[in-house]
Each structure stands twice: as structure tokens, then as C-alpha cells.
């Protein structure tokens, strides 16, 4: 697995800023699981908080609820088929890592594994869970963050292969961000 640099917890918010699909990994009683999650929302800088909406039917809902931990792993576009498998097959029906061809790796502060194939990993501890509708909002504190330098240097390098995030359009449609833009201060109006 390529070395990933440890970052500040608040870098998690920049990692999530473009709204990429994530793979939420959990572990309960030695059973690892991974589900695709795109309903992910930054909630605060200090402490650094993230919300994830998870339907109660998901095995990941049970695992994250019981262990109060999960990791958000950020895949790049080359993992699209594996991501889709994680988003259409339940861990109730077998080992999802095997089904999707993904590799678990030890996390640093939680039992839930990293998904080594991803370029960034956000380890989280669950603080609260609220039901507003058919999904439950898990509010989690970011514990520790790692990312691959060539993919993320404080901002995603969306014009490089390493930084090709995957965005879900719905159903079996995905897209990538191909271009970055930057505001020129001279063009800004008072």
C-alpha cells in the first residue's frame, strides 16, 4: 500500500468538499464490511464533525451503531466497479471485500479497517444518531486522517490520475471532476 501522510482532522472537510463517493468501512465481531456512501456532510471545524445518512436496512447501519466507529475511505475512478458492488450488494450476503476485490488494512485508531485501495482514509467515532426520515443521520467526530500526497496536497489534485474522484449521479451513473479553477484576486470585485 502506498504511504499516506497523516493530516490534521480538519483536512477531512477538504477531502469531502467536492462531494466524492466514499466507502464507509466498519468491523463488528471480526467481520469487516464496506458500503458505498455519498450522503456525507461536513458539520463543523472544531471539533471536526461529519454527518452520514445511513438507511436502517444496511448492515453498515448495524455495525456503525454497535461499534460507534467507522472509516470513510475515498476511492478514485478506477475503483468504480468495486464501489458499485459495495453500493448494491449487502454484507449480509457475504464478504463484501472479497466480492468487490478490495483489500482491508489496519486503521490507526479504530477497529474498522481502512480500504487500502483508496487514496484517503478518515477515521471517525460516532457521537450521535438521529432519525429524521427513512435514513438515520450518524454524527461522527473525525479522529485521524490520512491521504496520499500525490492525490491531495491540501486540495484535491483533480487534474492528476491520483486525484480522480468519483461522483455518483444516481443508479449506475458516475462522473469525474476533470478541471480545477482558481479565483484570481485581481478579478474579484469589492
Ligand X SMILES: Cc1cc2nc3c(=O)[nH]c(=O)nc-3n(C[C@H](O)[C@H](O)[C@H](O)COP(=O)(O)O)c2cc1C
By the criterion CB under 6 A, which residues form the site for ligand X? 21, 33, 35-39, 53-55, 58-60, 84, 87-92, 96, 135, 168
Residues 96-131: b if buried by 16+ CB within 10 A, e if exposed = bbebbebebbebeebebbbbebbbbbbbbebeeeee
Decide whether 33 or 76 has the Cβ nearer to ligand X: 33
Residue 89 C-beta: closest distance to ligand X, Å: 6
CA gap 45, 113 in Å, rounded = 25
| φ, ψ of residue 134 in degrees (nearest 5) | -80, -20
Residue 57 C-beta: closest distance to ligand X, Å: 7
Decide whether 4 or 168 has the Cβ nearer to ligand X: 168
Residue 142 C-beta: closest distance to ligand X, Å: 17
Decide whether 30 or 190 has the Cβ nearer to ligand X: 30
DSSP strand pairing (120-131 vs 136-147): antiparallel
Residue 157 C-beta: closest distance to ligand X, Å: 22
DSSP strand pairing (5-7 vs 104-105): unpaired
Decide whether 10 or 167 has the Cβ nearer to ligand X: 167
Residue nearest to ligand X (CB): 87
Residue 88 C-beta: closest distance to ligand X, Å: 6
| Nearest by Cα to 58 from 136, 157, 154, 126 | 136
Residue 87 C-beta: closest distance to ligand X, Å: 2
Decide whether 84 or 121 has the Cβ nearer to ligand X: 84
| Residue 57 near residue 35, CB atoms below 8 Å | no
| Nearest by Cα to 121 from 17, 1, 21, 22 | 22
| Residue 53 near residue 140, CB atoms below 8 Å | no
Decide whether 39 or 155 has the Cβ nearer to ligand X: 39
Amino acid at each position: 500500500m502506498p504511504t499516506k501522510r497523516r493530516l490534521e482532522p480538519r483536512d477531512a472537510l477538504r477531502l469531502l468538499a467536492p462531494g466524492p463517493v466514499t466507502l464507509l468501512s466498519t468491523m463488528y465481531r471480526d467481520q469487516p464490511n464496506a458500503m458505498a456512501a455519498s450522503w456525507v456532510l461536513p458539520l463543523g471545524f472544531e471539533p471536526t464533525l461529519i454527518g452520514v445518512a445511513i438507511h436502517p436496512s444496511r448492515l453498515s447501519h448495524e455495525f456503525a451503531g454497535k461499534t460507534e466507529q467507522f472509516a470513510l475511505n475515498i476511492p478514485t475512478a478506477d475503483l468504480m466497479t468495486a464501489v458499485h458492488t459495495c453500493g448494491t450488494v449487502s454484507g449480509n450476503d457475504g464478504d463484501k471485500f472479497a466480492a468487490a476485490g478490495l483489500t482491508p488494512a489496519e486503521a490507526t485508531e479504530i477497529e474498522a479497517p481502512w480500504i487500502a485501495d483508496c487514496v484517503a482514509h478518515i477515521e471517525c467515532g460516532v457521537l450521535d444518531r438521529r432519525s429524521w426520515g427513512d435514513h438515520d443521520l450518524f454524527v461522527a467526530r473525525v479522529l485521524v486522517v490520512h491521504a496520499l500526497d500525490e492525490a491531495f496536497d491540501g486540495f484535491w489534485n483533480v487534474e492528476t490520475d491520483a486525484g480522480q474522484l468519483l461522483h455518483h449521479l444516481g443508479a449506475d451513473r458516475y462522473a469525474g471532476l476533470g478541471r480545477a479553477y482558481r479565483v484570481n484576486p485581481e478579478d474579484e470585485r469589492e
